[in-house]
């Protein structure tokens, strides 16, 4: 990309703003939904853009490998440290207060306890009832689940049927993404809004936020898996000179 | 004060130590941290086990969030035993690792190796300790991702393809598991295992729950190398660095089996599994086919590490066979075999690691005449092999004894016969190694090998002696396993 003047200029102009925006999201995070996580992603995107446009060598000059590794370790330490520090410094009284507060205000808790109340036939996602119009309604009414199943099988098929190692990773990605859809579908309450508590507001119907949180975790896991998978593919390419499964198998058989 | 937090420390200690290893930037300090943390983890696991046996189930609320909403760590005799196995193996493997790592991995990656090792330990301990279904998935992926990294550090290029293959199959398994957990959540509205267990009864006969059950068993089947979902295992074990093979072979599949036990017995309940699904028949058939197919394949392997890897698939079959009886004796046999197999495979892979350290190969032809050149290592291998076959006075005998008892209890003579017959297959593949090492002359064009250094021999022999100690005095292991089986089947404990 180095010879594309337009890309270079635009990237050069854009990157400072991307970083600035990331910092804005980071420090605004306290007051709005999201926060540190998105900020980190935006921040990282700036560096990835830089690496794509100006090449990996230049990017490594900006962020040397040692620095990156140290940052990862420190980040994890800070993250785990916050949890431990909280646990250590917690006093009994503070704990009791906290519990009382969460009992009345934590949205996930309310959403879930309401979920427990919902029972009966519409909880059974995969239960077909009767022929005729009911079945048609079932097919259309559950379209998000059909998409989930379609994507799942599609991804699965790509993983199994493709011999190219990168394509397999793509298939794996589609496969994982389908599960995200499943979880989000489960959390949706018809007519529900975002689960934000407004002081003084009456009871509102809101979607269950918990599956979103779970899926955020699963997305992180998916990203980590993809990154690791692709880096393995790079190493395999270095060692074998190919990323086609058949050729690799042939080479392994020879000696 | 600190005793109340043992359950959290069990997981947090290795988790915090991992980034510390990265910051240390040196192989040896990172190694020392790893050894220290592994021993601390073992001490905590022993404490937890004693506590559980004395006072019953321990429940720990993370961050003070009350149980069904917050994440709960829940330790009963089943997972306290698994924690003991994992941390015990790690406590022996960590000191062993240093020499082999120096030999097999480039120096600039040593500290990263130990960081990944500790993360893997975190994940394995986390799966065992947590009482939250989604948390299991998170820890499953922590341990899996770090084990892909560890396997890819192997010295041959095949290690890379083995790690890749494991990554693909492992991710499919974990995602299946995730789908299952999602469906359970849809039906019960909770992720806490104890809470799920009480709520599932009401919705037990719905197709969603059945689908969840299927996804979870198949997903975990991939992870625990249930035949025929074991294809990732032989290469992963064969080409991983020696220390990694010891750790994974002795712990990873065990933890997956524990998770399956937890979901089938505690969450779904044995009644559901028996009445609504065909899990018992299914597991028994696959376990038996797996035992024979994998053992026979093992006989024809020339790479001894790969041979033992196939043997691991067969041994997983024994554990699942024990589970498939759905009786206290059968489960006791299965659970005690978790421990016993960790001891024997740990010892065998450690001995092989020592061979690899001296020869740079574990091909059966290269091991000719090794009995004279490395007497202590090879003798350890032979004793480990005897335990694998199931000779009396070894732990292997105890496992098979309980499995056969369980079969006879049900009046299933043929199965008892098949267990005995399959032991003969183990004799066949272990004999191939013994024959090469003791009754063949070494190939002349290779230099003579010398005995392995004490740093490798001591951990190996600790495990070999454990094979005999726990084979003679079974009160601890069988006692706990029996208690665990009763807890799982819900008949007190």
Host domain of residue A194: 133-255
Instruction: Supply the pLDDT for residue B33.
Output: 92
Pairing of strands B72-75, B58-61: antiparallel
In terms of pLDDT, which residue wins out, A198 or B261? B261
Q: Mutation test of the interface with chain B: which of A225, A233, A249, A250, choosing the one with the most B Cβ atoms within 10 A?
A: A225
Q: Among A89, A109, A142, where does a domain finish?
A: A89
Last residue in a domain, options A35, A69, A89: A89
Contact A237/A169 with Cβ under 8 angstroms? no
DSSP state of B58: E
Would you mind telling me the total number of residues written for chain A in this entry? 255
d(CA B223, CA B240): 17
The answer to whether position A249 is within a domain reads yes
Question: Are both A147 and A251 inside the same structural domain?
Answer: yes
Query: Cα–Cα distances in Å, from A34 out to A211, A213, B247?
Result: 15, 11, 39
Mean pLDDT over B301-305 rounds to 90
Counting the structural domains of chain B, the total is: 1
Question: How many Cα atoms are found within 13 Å in the side-chain-facing hemisphere of B444?
Answer: 0
Contacts of A172 in chain B (CB under 8 A): 168, 171-172
pLDDT at A32: 60
In Å, what is the CA distance from B326 to each residue of B36, B329, B333?
39, 9, 11
Residue with tokens 């599932």: B200
Residues of B within 8 A of A239 (CB-CB) are 157, 160
A127 to chain B, closest Cα gap in Å: 6
Is residue B376 a part of any domain in this protein? yes
Give Cα B191 distance to the centre of its chain: 25
- Alpha-carbon radius of gyration of chain B: 21
What's chain B's average pLDDT?
Answer: 88
Nearest chain B residue (CA) to A67: B23
Number of neighbouring beta carbons within 10 Å of residue B218:
17
A120 in any annotated domain: no
Could you tell me if A140 and A206 lie in one domain?
yes
B-chain residue closest to A212, CA distance: B182
A119 is a domain residue = no
Model pLDDT, residue B216: 92
Question: If you measure CA to CA, which chain A residue comes closest to B65?
Answer: A99
Cβ within 8 Å of A, B 156-215 = 157-158, 160-161, 163-164, 167-168, 171-172, 174-175, 178-179, 182-183, 185-190, 199, 202-203, 206-208, 211
Domain-located, residue A104: no
**Nearest CB to B64; choose among A95, A118, A233:** A95
Span A155-194, pLDDT tens digits? 999 998 888 999 999 999 999 999 998 888 888 777 777 7
Whole-angstrom Cα distance, residue A94 to residue B63?
12
CB contact under 8 A, B190 and A109: no
Measure the CA–CA gap between B42 and B47, rounded to whole angstroms: 9
Question: What CATH code is carried by the domain that includes residue A228?
Answer: 1.10.287.3510
Q: Domain end: A31, A65, A89, which one?
A: A89
pLDDT class for B83, splitting at 50, 70, 90?
Answer: very high
Note the pLDDT tens digit of each residue in A236-249.
999 988 888 888 88
Whether A159 is covered by a domain: the verdict is yes
Judge if ipTM > 0.85: yes
Whether A144 and A65 map to the same domain: the answer is no
In this prediction, residue B294 carries a pLDDT of 92
Res A105 pLDDT > 80 = no
Q: Is B63 part of the contact surface with chain A (CB cutoff 8 Å)?
A: yes
């Amino acid at each position: 990309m180095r010879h594309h003047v337009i890309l270079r200029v635009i990237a050069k102009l854009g990157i400072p703003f991307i970083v600035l925006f990331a910092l804005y999201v980071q420090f605004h995070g306290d007051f709005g939904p999201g926060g540190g996580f998105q900020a980190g992603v935006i921040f990282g995107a700036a560096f990835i853009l830089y690496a794509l446009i100006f090449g990996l060598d230049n990017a490594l000059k900006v962020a040397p490998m040692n620095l990156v590794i140290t940052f990862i370790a420190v980040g994890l330490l800070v993250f785990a440290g916050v949890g431990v520090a909280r646990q250590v410094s917690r006093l009994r009284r503070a704990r009791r207060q906290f519990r009382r507060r969460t009992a009345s205000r934590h949205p996930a808790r309310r959403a879930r306890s309401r979920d427990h109340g919902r029972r009966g036939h519409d909880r059974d996602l995969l239960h077909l009832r009767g022929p005729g119009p009911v079945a048609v309604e079932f097919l259309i009414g559950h379209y998000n689940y059909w998409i989930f199943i379609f994507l799942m099988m599609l991804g699965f098929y790509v993983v199994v049927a493709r011999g190219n190692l990168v394509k397999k990773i793509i298939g794996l990605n589609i496969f994982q993404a389908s599960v995200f859809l499943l979880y989000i579908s489960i959390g949706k309450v018809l007519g529900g809004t975002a689960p934000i508590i407004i002081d003084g507001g009456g009871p509102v119907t809101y979607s269950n936020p918990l599956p979103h949180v779970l899926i955020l975790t699963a997305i992180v896991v998916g990203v980590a898996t993809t990154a690791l998978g692709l880096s393995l593919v790079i190493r395999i390419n270095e060692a074998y000179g190919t990323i086609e499964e058949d050729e690799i198998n042939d080479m392994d058989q020879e000696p | 004060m600190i005793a109340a937090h043992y359950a959290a420390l069990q997981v947090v200690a290795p988790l915090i130590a991992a980034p510390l290893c990265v910051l240390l930037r040196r192989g040896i300090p990172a190694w020392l941290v790893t050894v220290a943390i592994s021993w601390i983890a073992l001490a905590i696991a022993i404490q937890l086990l004693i506590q559980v046996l004395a006072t019953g189930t321990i429940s720990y609320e993370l961050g003070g969030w009350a149980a069904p909403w917050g994440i709960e760590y829940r330790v009963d005799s089943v997972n306290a035993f698994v924690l003991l196995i994992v941390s015990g193996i790690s406590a022996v493997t960590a000191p062993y690792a240093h020499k082999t790592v120096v030999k097999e991995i480039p120096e600039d990656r040593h500290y990263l190796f130990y960081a990944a090792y500790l993360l893997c330990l975190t994940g394995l301990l986390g799966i065992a300790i947590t009482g939250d279904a989604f948390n299991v998935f998170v820890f499953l992926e922590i341990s899996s991702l770090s084990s892909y990294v560890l396997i890819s550090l192997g010295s041959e290029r095949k290690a890379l393809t083995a790690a890749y293959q494991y990554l693909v199959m492992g991710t499919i398994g974990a995602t299946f598991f995730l789908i299952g957990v999602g469906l359970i959540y849809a039906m019960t509205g909770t992720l806490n295992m104890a809470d799920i267990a009480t709520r599932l009864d009401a919705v037990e006969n719905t197709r969603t729950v059945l689908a969840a059950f299927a996804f979870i068993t198949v997903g975990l089947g991939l992870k625990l190398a249930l035949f025929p979902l074991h294809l990732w295992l032989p290469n992963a074990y064969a080409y991983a660095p020696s220390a990694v093979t010891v750790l994974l072979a002795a712990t990873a599949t065990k933890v997956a089996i524990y998770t399956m036990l937890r979901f089938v017995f505690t969450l779904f309940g044995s009644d559901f599994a028996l009445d609504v699904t065909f899990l018992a028949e299914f597991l028994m058939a696959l376990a038996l086919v797996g035992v024979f197919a994998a053992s026979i394949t093992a006989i024809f392997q020339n790479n001894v590490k790969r041979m033992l890897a196939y043997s691991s698939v067969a041994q997983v079959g024994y554990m699942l066979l024990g589970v498939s009886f759905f009786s206290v004796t059968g489960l006791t046999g299965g659970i005690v075999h978790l421990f016993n197999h960790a001891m024997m495979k740990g010892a065998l892979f450690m001995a092989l690691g020592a061979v690899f350290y001296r020869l740079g190969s574990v091909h059966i032809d290269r091991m000719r005449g090794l009995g004279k050149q490395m007497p202590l290592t090879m003798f350890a291998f032979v004793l480990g092999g005897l335990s694998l076959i199931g000779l009396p006075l070894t732990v292997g005998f105890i496992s098979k004894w309980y499995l056969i008892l369980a079969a006879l209890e049900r009046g299933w003579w043929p199965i008892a016969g098949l267990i005995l017959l399959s032991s003969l297959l183990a004799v066949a593949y272990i004999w191939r190694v013994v024959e090469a090492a003791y009754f063949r002359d070494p190939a002349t064009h290779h230099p003579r090998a010398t005995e392995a250094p004490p740093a490798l021999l001591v951990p190996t022999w600790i495990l070999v002696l454990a094979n005999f100690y726990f084979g003679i005095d079974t009160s601890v292991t069988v006692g706990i396993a029996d208690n665990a089986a009763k807890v799982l089947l819900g008949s007190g404990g």
